[in-house]
Structure 1
């Protein structure tokens, strides 16, 4: 359905990838993975035709419909939500709108008008044979969390996260033959991500998706495209299959190189020993020729680097950690929290989950005493020292100082080497530590906030969506860091692999303030929820 011929992309002297020759087939779903900056989004934009600056060819089968998840959330502000989704099928959208205009203003005694209406009707039949486009759009919108009473509201009335959901609905609605998705799970809650997984598993064409959600990749993709070594290598299977295969390949390369290196050393020793001996000169010359032919490939360092996330509390906590007592909160007439009461015992690690807008961030702000609840109280244990990762991290990390200076500003007496070592563990090299804070990316800001938390050495961690902007390697490292942490955790996340990694208690908040408090892992919670054995705590 799609193939590339000698595809090469450069940025100045830097080569992102070169001479890429791959063929993407129908009924296959490809996960495009690689380190941040490796070129995943660039490659996807080239395939989808959004980036024309490259060498080589991209060939797409004749007559195939291509769908690309839009990234401009403000492109349809004056459209209704329903029309913004319909626009995903531009031919149908134009025909429907022209029909509506002619039925409103047209002269039906004019043969030209009637002929044009007949033509438009044929287009509508071709694009929507069952005349169900409105029903289909409504179903998709409801599945991504936009209720029916808002479908005819203007896009400008939506918050940014909901605009992204409409863009997702827009690209799914026409059922394109080739579908390109860049981080489609952003701003989606766990229930909606599960729905999207089911939808994509039924996709009959070709799918290429970028995601940092390991669970999502494992559920959806049949193949992996790995952007690394300035190449794009294809593996059969999901992300976990790739991970095993990639590690086996790396070990094989290492073993092969070690064998070749030993052979080279033996040959070099023989040449040195016998090249001056006339009786052995012929053998030495033969060995020298063998040595010249011996190709010892240096194992290229992967563009992936694993951060080292280690949280070590400087203070041992006592018997009391946290008590949230009868907490309720409303924004005007909208109640998001209602009579929440729970005690956190030392060592408990809580995954705080729920749909967008149900009050998870509000609860974290109340717990951190940044927001006063409408009613209720929060009581911290006397030995507790909190460390907080807020949702708006990218807005909070600002200024003109260097990364090192920003961190040192929180503790001027901290040993210089500790700060630099901490930044190094989060993959900031010595040179990068001198970068200005205002010039770093969202992912780098998240790694900076994790560096700050490690330096703070709190014994109770509160994290609000820490995995946003992080690559897969960093998310895995974060999960390990939280699992190994000897203290308490409350973490908001929609990343199920991260939740599975550390949580031993689940609190899910529902619209209107209802909540479930479950002691167990996320996997155990999901099973209990599926079996219908859970009850609200209020």
Structure 2
């Protein structure tokens, strides 16, 4: 290929125009131009559908160089070099080709811009999702912003008013680049899509992540208005599936609005209620349009209003402009009335109240809330927007029991489609109308809630096993006949027929056996009482922020205590006082001299070094053991084989929790103090943790909102509320739930 282009000349041009260029880019440009030249030489002409210099090389050089003029000149030279190759390969085209330094179809580009602008203005489609996909997850955000800015500039230059908001990067604060919470479909006027069929039918799709196959030839059918619970083991790829749907990597119709709540929102000076109201992009746009039209009408009331050219308008022009503005204003006001814009603030307030925000919290800036409360704000924004397809990833993780109950009741009346990842069986029983089970790179769908799924699944598995065994016997029978009579002249025809039958039989896979997950904590040596108690304890962060007063508790080695209460009442503070992370402002905490306490933090993931392996983390935090011992501890929590040698960043949320549990086991504690330990665990892991805690010979104190977990593990409950900690006199968590969330509140 060297005969077509001078490689040294290309390198000299690159280094002289872009002095700091990376060697990799130099080699890439040389190779790409050489391949393009060879293709031109073989075909005798350049491919009109693409321009390698403009489409690939120029954007790369623009990122590597500061001087855009030099880059433009350099790209012209590269285009000229390719043109010379084309002229040599096809002399008949010499005169026609030489007229252009680079073949650019400007008419097609301008037509495409016009089409995109008109579509954005009408609200019927968008640029990023024109083919049902978004490249947001594959393109560098800074490059995407540059590309969108160029598109917007071209649209503006052609005098077309655009309402393009596909990626929301151009007009927003840079911090919003990381805001993956609000994946809203870019269609602004959602009132125009109400009569469309909004079922989602995805067939034969594959999903991979980090080189690992997540789903293979899978199907997913979501009927509009039904609520789907997505379940499966930790690390199976449930969150990856949601992200692929949200980013439109799967072909969801573009008129279906999607919103994905995955992480906490970015905090800023916006008030809590304003952040919720802003989530409805369509309403915000209408309000901006209303304000702009009113401002325009106000200018027309001036003594001598000027037109766009700066000339005084005539009375006829003023009247015509007023009529035009009036018609636009009527259209905007009709839309605002249709979406009940005047009730928006009360709806937002109702949602915030239900999720635990007090009326005084409404005007607080979002940056003043902790991560858990900002997660609730993200959820509030989603519920306020009411998208056609709402995707939730473990929404109950940061909620207390009253908020979980409120969310269950709210979601029962959810009018559109819901797809929620959750391991809370009570929540799924209350909310889900269907269950989607992800396993073995496939998705199985079941009608009914989780309890119905649990009973149906085993029956389906038995039927699949019977069908599989029956087919295997039939295959064996056919194969035996073929082997016996294949070369017999009298039976050869029958043997051939059996071969054809065997070839046409569908390949059935043996149903997978459920893998049993086990957790194990080492039994501690016994210590004599008293073990752990508090006397007249009080704690406050300041004179104004008193958290606990007059707390008296006594725990022995057989303690199984659940601490419940509203968020912000001091449950986590109480745990930190128990383990000595905080010192009381009054009173006393007594711990036995030989007492070892292991603490599982609600925010344990933040304490992990994601660049380390699981073994490396244990070695760093709890030195003194061999790698084999650390791997054995990890194996006690389902992290066997090579998983312990993977970087923690590649593990799922549940697997990260298991790494933390393995760290607790290394400490050989007498007491386990657990703050929301089930948040990221799958159902099998929750069962394994429940059994491990039942068998553990030491004491257990935990904070959790999971009813089933509390009922299974704990023998007593303490209520932390109103600065007090009192023993609950009822029969269990269900009685407590009825007490704080009476049915008449529905």
The verdict on a shared fold, with TM-score over 0.5 as the criterion, is yes
CA distance in 1, matches of 2:226, 2:532: 49
Over 3 Å counting, the alpha-carbon distance change for 1:23 and 1:392 in structure 2 is closer
Specify which structure has the bigger relative contact order, considering alpha-carbon pairs within 8 angstroms and separated by 6 or more residues: 1
Aligned match for 1:517, one of 705, 727, 731: 727
Over 3 Å counting, the alpha-carbon distance change for 1:231 and 1:134 in structure 2 is same
CA distance in 1, matches of 2:372, 2:486: 76
- Name the structure 1 match of 2:277: 86
Classify the secondary structure of the residue corresponding to 2:728. strand
The answer on 1:38 being equivalent to 2:230 is no
The answer on 1:144 being equivalent to 2:336 is no
- Name the structure 1 match of 2:517: 307
Aligned match for 1:124, one of 326, 331, 336: 336
- Name the structure 2 match of 1:235: 446
C-alpha deviation, 1:191, in angstroms: 0.6
CA distance in 2, matches of 1:172, 1:276: 67
Over 3 Å counting, the alpha-carbon distance change for 1:331 and 1:305 in structure 2 is farther
Does the 8 Å contact 1:505/1:522 carry over to 2? no
Does the 8 Å contact 2:531/2:592 carry over to 1? yes
CA distance in 2, matches of 1:238, 1:399: 36
- Name the structure 2 match of 1:215: 426
C-alpha deviation, 1:133, in angstroms: 1.9
Over 3 Å counting, the alpha-carbon distance change for 1:282 and 1:463 in structure 2 is same
Cα offsets for 1:130-174 (capped at 9, x unmatched): x32222221111211222223233333333322222222222124
What TM-score comes out, normalization by structure 1 length? 0.84
Does the 8 Å contact 1:348/1:489 carry over to 2? yes
Does the 8 Å contact 1:3/1:21 carry over to 2? no
Classify the secondary structure of the residue corresponding to 2:573. helix
CA distance in 2, matches of 1:138, 1:79: 15
Gaps of 5+ in 2: 1-197, 302-321
CA distance in 2, matches of 1:173, 1:53: 25
C-alpha deviation, 1:368, in angstroms: 0.6
- Name the structure 2 match of 1:535: none
Does the 8 Å contact 1:79/1:154 carry over to 2? yes
Does the 8 Å contact 1:66/1:179 carry over to 2? yes
CA distance in 2, matches of 1:133, 1:531: 27
CA distance in 2, matches of 1:276, 1:119: 80
- Name the structure 2 match of 1:96: 287
CA distance in 1, matches of 2:498, 2:527: 67
Q: For structure 1, which segment, 184-193 or 395-404, has the greater mean C-alpha deviation from structure 2 after superposition? A: 395-404
Counterparts of residues 376-525 of structure 1 (less than 5 Å):
376-381=587-592, 384-398=595-609, 402-408=613-619, 414=625, 417-437=628-648, 440-510=651-721, 512-518=722-728, 520-525=731-736
Classify the secondary structure of the residue corresponding to 1:132. helix
CA distance in 1, matches of 2:221, 2:338: 30
C-alpha deviation, 1:236, in angstroms: 0.8
Counterparts of residues 176-255 of structure 1 (less than 5 Å):
176-255=387-466
C-alpha deviation, 1:98, in angstroms: 4.4
Cα offsets for 1:265-291 (capped at 9, x unmatched): 77878988x779999988996998588
What TM-score comes out, normalization by structure 2 length? 0.62
- Name the structure 1 match of 2:69: none
Classify the secondary structure of the residue corresponding to 2:252. strand
Classify the secondary structure of the residue corresponding to 2:539. strand
Does the 8 Å contact 1:28/1:205 carry over to 2? yes
Does the 8 Å contact 1:506/1:525 carry over to 2? no
- Name the structure 1 match of 2:146: none
CA distance in 2, matches of 1:170, 1:35: 28
CA distance in 2, matches of 1:109, 1:374: 67
Cα offsets for 1:58-87 (capped at 9, x unmatched): 347x6x65544364611x735332222122
CA distance in 1, matches of 2:526, 2:494: 68
Counterparts of residues 38-117 of structure 1 (less than 5 Å):
38-47=236-245, 50-54=246-250, 57-59=251-253, 66-69=258-261, 71=263, 73-74=265-266, 77-99=268-290, 107=298, 110=301, 111=322, 116-117=328-329
> Quick check: which one's strand share is greater?
1
C-alpha deviation, 1:413, in angstroms: 5.6
C-alpha deviation, 1:125, in angstroms: 0.6
Over 3 Å counting, the alpha-carbon distance change for 1:186 and 1:379 in structure 2 is same
Over 3 Å counting, the alpha-carbon distance change for 1:184 and 1:300 in structure 2 is same
Q: CA RMSD in A?
A: 3.7
CA distance in 2, matches of 1:10, 1:326: 57
CA distance in 2, matches of 1:175, 1:267: 57
Over 3 Å counting, the alpha-carbon distance change for 1:189 and 1:72 in structure 2 is closer
Aligned match for 1:16, one of 214, 226, 229: 214
Does the 8 Å contact 1:17/1:231 carry over to 2? yes
- Name the structure 1 match of 2:528: 318
> Quick check: which one's helix share is greater?
2
- Name the structure 2 match of 1:331: 541
Classify the secondary structure of the residue corresponding to 2:641. coil
